[in-house]
């Protein structure tokens, strides 16, 4: 989808994909081991998006120094909350 697509359409598409993934995992995960495998797959996908899409865009937009401060602050806040 392009940047000119209205935000509610992109948000609805993201929700539909997330909801579909949740339903798929509910039907596929019959054991604890299968559920852990699906969770690991989802976590790996999110890590890949963060490293290969969000990270480079953030560095390009903010520069290395601001990006490292933002990433460190975000990680620290996440660690504090959990």
pLDDT band at 3 (very low <50, low <70, confident <90, very high): low
Instruction: Give the residue among 60, 62, 79 at the shortest CA–CA distance from 70.
Output: 62
Q: Tokens for 3, please give them.
A: 């940047």
Neighbours of 6 (CB within 10 A): 9
pLDDT band at 19 (very low <50, low <70, confident <90, very high): confident
pLDDT band at 25 (very low <50, low <70, confident <90, very high): confident
Per-residue confidence (pLDDT) for residue 59, from 0 to 100: 93
pLDDT band at 38 (very low <50, low <70, confident <90, very high): confident
Give residue limits of the domains in the chain: 1-30, 32-82
């Amino acid at each position: 989808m392009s940047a000119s697509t209205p935000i509610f359409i992109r948000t609805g598409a993201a929700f539909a994909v997330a909801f579909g993934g949740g339903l798929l995992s509910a039907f596929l995960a019959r054991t604890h081991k299968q559920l852990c495998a699906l969770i690991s797959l989802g976590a790996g996908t999110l890590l890949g998006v963060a490293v290969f899409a969000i990270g480079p865009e953030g560095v390009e937009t903010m520069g290395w120094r601001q990006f490292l401060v933002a990433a460190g602050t975000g990680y620290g806040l996440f660690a504090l909350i959990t």
